[in-house]
Amino acid sequence: MKRFANILALAFIFMAQSAAAQTLKTVKGRGVLNCGSNGTLAGFGLPDANGKWAGLDVDLCRAVAAAIFNDAEKVKFVPLSAKDRFTALQSGEVDLLARDTTWTVSRDSSLGLNFVGVNYYDGQGFMVRKALNVNSALELNGASVCVQQGTTSELNLSDFFRTHNMQLKSVTFATANEAVKAYDAGRCDAYTTDGSSLYSERLRLANANDHILLPEIISKEPLGPAVRQGDDQWFDIVKWTLFAMINAEELNITSKNIDEMKASTDPDIKRFVGSDGNYGEQLGLPKEWAVSIVKLVGNYGEVFERNVGSGSPLKIDRGLNKLWNKGGIQYAPPIR
């Protein structure tokens, strides 16, 4: 009787899983992953003059395509504004949202989506003109601040001013383009957004050197990819794609040495490359899913440096985004 109940329970779990596990099937059938991305943010998501997309989030999308298709180019990028990004995921227009999006409880619980992890630990900051002679955000009493609608930046901004009993004139814009242009034209004393975006947007100003970033970081902005709720297999695939990139860095597996690594006798590396165990199959992916990710896109460190770090115009320090065993907080559960 107990055995029968167990079999029945397993059958139900299996049925529930196969009913929900539609996204991978849809993506495979379509032959391409639809990825919601930022279309105007250098370092995170931006097409170049030839239409070739680049960025940390863009590479996360490519890594998911690599894991599924062993082809990192099977991605259609859909540029999304801050305001429209969640509807695009909810409606099924995109399979995955990777657009410098902060993981918060309200977004996680009320929008029908799930955040899979954090691909960039960020925090909100301020940029001002050097000529304003301000060295701290605490000197911004009475200042006008340009900010983008539909972002976490709006609430953090008003919280910060209220907490410090400072007067705020916030000037809001629907897009980053408008907000940055208005700031550059002198319509606001300061511009506020995620710290990483400040590095990126500063490069778009008429004279980048006339502006400084103030030292205060006023919020936690864990940026990460999100998927629709209700498809655990798809949730796992995107989650473990990110974890594979982080684990690869920890195991010193790079896009350059991945072929040699396939012959490694190290047990962790054997599990990673698929010569031991069947972790890819368990996820619904090919055996060499993690090899494809690293070979075609790179490990987390390579992707970080290329897009936002030392190998990019942004030159952002790894900071919190260093691995946990190198002084940062990037940490992935093991592949085993």
Ligand X SMILES: N[C@@H](CCC(=O)N[C@@H](CS)C(=O)NCC(=O)O)C(=O)O
The dihedral over CA atoms of 170, 171, 177, 183, expressed in degrees to the nearest 10, equals -80
Q: Which is nearer to ligand X, 146 or 285 (CB)?
A: 146
Selected from 114, 153, 219, 233, the binder of ligand X by CB under 6 A is 153
Residues near 304 by Cβ (< 8 Å), separated by ≥ 6?
56, 318, 321
Closest separation between CB of residue 229 and ligand X, Å? 18
In the complex with ligand X, which residue's Cβ is closer, 228 or 271? 228
Residue closest to ligand X when measured from CB atoms: 176
Per CB under 6 A, the list member of 23, 34, 37, 197 interacting with ligand X is 197
State in angstroms the smallest separation of the CB of 198 from ligand X: 8
Q: Write out the E strands in the chain.
A: 33-37, 46-47, 53-54, 75-79, 96-98, 113-115, 120-122, 124-129, 144-148, 169-173, 190-194, 211-213, 221-223, 226-228
Closest CA to 195 of 224, 168, 215, 173: 215
Radius of gyration from C-alpha coordinates of the chain: 22
Residue found by looking up tokens 């990004």 in the block: 85
Contacts of ligand X in 222-261 (CB under 6 A): 223
User: Of the two residues 55 and 280, which places its CB atom closer to ligand X in the complex?
Assistant: 55
| Smaller CB separation from ligand X, 193 or 292 | 193
**One residue of 27, 64, 78, 82 binding ligand X per CB under 6 A:** 82
State the nearest-atom distance from the C-beta of 283 to ligand X, in Å: 27
- C-alpha 94/C-alpha 80 separation (Å) is 10
Q: How far lies 248's CA from each of 61, 275, 311, 334, in Å?
A: 17, 15, 19, 10
The span from the CA of 145 to the CA of 168, in Å, is 7
Separation CA 38–CA 101 (nearest Å): 10
| Site for ligand X contains 102 (CB under 6 A) | yes
Contacts with ligand X: how many residues (CB under 6 A)?
20
Please select the residue that binds ligand X; options are 23, 34, 37, 148, rule is CB under 6 A.
Answer: 148
Q: Does 41 bind ligand X (CB under 6 A)?
A: yes
Candidates 20, 21, 26, 40: give the one binding ligand X (CB under 6 A).
40
Tell me the per-residue interface mask from 118 to 147 with ligand X, x by CB under 6 A, - otherwise. Answer: ------------------------------
Least Cβ distance, residue 3 to ligand X (angstroms)? 49
* CA neighbor of 164 nearest in space, from 195, 126, 198, 130: 126
Near ligand X by CB under 6 A: residue from 59, 95, 100, 250: 100
Is residue 196 within the footprint of ligand X (CB under 6 A)? Answer: no
Whether the Cβ atoms of residue 224 and residue 232 lie closer than 8 Å to each other = no
**C-beta of 2: minimal distance to ligand X in Å?**
48
Instruction: Tell me the H-state helices in 176-314.
Output: 176-184, 195-202, 232-250, 258-261, 267-273, 279-283, 289-296, 300-307
Q: Give the footprint of ligand X on this chain (CB under 6 A).
A: 38, 40-41, 81-82, 100-102, 148, 151-153, 175-176, 193-194, 197, 201, 221, 223
